Each structure stands twice: as structure tokens, then as C-alpha cells.
Amino acid sequence: MKLLKSVLVAGVAAVLLAGCGAKEETAVNKPAAEQTDAVTTASIVDEGAAFTKAVSKDGNWIIAILKDVAIDQDVVVAGEFRDKGAADGKIYRKIALYAQDADHNITDNYTLTVPKLTVQSENLRVQGGTIKGDVYVEAKGFNLHESATIDGNLYFASEDVKASAAIDGKVTGATEVK
């Protein structure tokens, strides 16, 4: 019986030690197709410089702010991004000006204050919260979600760009081609 216990304890210890000594797979060990591309992840920001970088052509497909953010210079949303970063995904970009719970219900709205926000990314959706300032849309497919507000003017670069937009949210100022 004593021998059986010793063999059993030795066996369990060997299994545990083998598990602990297993080689961890890191990004360096993974094939390129399995590595995470930083551009495909969401960018969660809480200050102006980080927001400006996140909406740049080298930024992220979704940008979420964690609190009210004020920027004292014009900001350009540029670059082509795809839904959830998938190479075969629909061209899509999102600015989320809200917090949400586990069921995706909006729990808090935030304000992005900027003198001028120029949209050059196709299919940009602004959801939740408020953009306080003027928005100039130069790319097709702009979407102002019903939960979002532009406290300022909304200008479109052409009639085609305006016709491709979906404005379900509120705009306090003018909405026109300029």
C-alpha cells in the first residue's frame, strides 16, 4: 500500500511539474496570421492627445472615450478601417462617446469638445454622447446614431456625401453642403 501511494504521489507530481514547465506560446512563437494586429483593437482614451492619435490614419477602428474630453485644435478622422479589424470585414469606423454595461446598454454619455472635426474615414459612426463643435464630413457613409448629438453644425463636402449619410441623432445647428 505504501508503494502504491508513493507511485501515485510521484505520478501526480510529474504531471503537475510537466504542466508548469510547458513552454508558453508568445507572439514571437506564433505564425504571423495568429498574431494580433494592434490597429485592429479598440482604443479607449481619456484625453485629447490620445483621442487625436486614435482617430488618425494610423489609429484604431473603434475609439471610445472614458470621460468628457476637450481638444482646443481641429481634429481629422482619417484612414480606412474594417469592422472589428477583419481583413474581409466591411469598411467601418466608430467613435463611442459613452459607457455601457454588460448587456450593451448605455450607462453614461460623454462630450467631445473640438472646434472642428473633419471626417475622412468612410462609414464612420458616431454613437452616444455629444460632439460639441462643427463636424465636416468628406467621406461617404457617415452615421450619426440616434443616441448621439452634434452640438454645432454638420457640413457635407458634396450632395453625394450627404445622400450617403444616415442622420438619426440630433444636430443643434445647420445641416448642409458647404
Q: What is the pLDDT of residues 1-29, one digit of tens each?
A: 444 334 333 333 333 333 334 333 333 33
pLDDT at 42: 77
- Please list, residue by residue across 155-174, b when 16 or more beta carbons sit within 10 angstroms of its beta carbon and e when fewer do: bbbeeebbebbebebebeee
Please report which helix (H) or strand (E) contains residue 19, including its range.
helix 2-20
C-alpha–C-alpha distance, residues 176 and 112, integer Å? 21
Helix (H) or strand (E) holding 79: none
Residue 145 has pLDDT above 60, yes or no: yes
Q: Is the pLDDT of residue 37 over 80?
A: no
Q: Which amino acid is at 139?
A: A
pLDDT over 70 (residue 41): no
CA 92 to chain centroid, in Å, comes to 10
Tell me, what's the pLDDT at 35? 36
Q: How far apart are CA 84 and CA 90, in angstroms?
A: 9
Q: What are phi and psi of 121, to 5 degrees?
A: -90, 125
Structural domain boundaries in the chain:
40-171
Phi, psi of 48 (to 5 degrees): -60, -45
- Identify the weakest region by mean pLDDT among 85-89, 126-130, 145-149: 85-89
Single-letter code of the amino acid located at 84: K
pTM: 0.76
Alpha-carbon distance of 99 to 106, in angstroms, equals: 6
Interval 61-73 mean pLDDT: 96
Q: Give percent above pLDDT 90 in the chain.
A: 72
As a whole number, mean pLDDT of residues 51-68 equals 95
70-99 per-position pLDDT tens digit:
999 999 999 999 987 788 889 999 999 999
Residue 11's Cβ-side half-sphere holds a number of Cα atoms within 13 Å equal to: 6
Contact at 8 Å (CB) between 47 and 75?
Answer: no
Quote the mean pLDDT of the chain.
Answer: 83
Residue 88: closest CA among 121, 126, 127, 40: 40
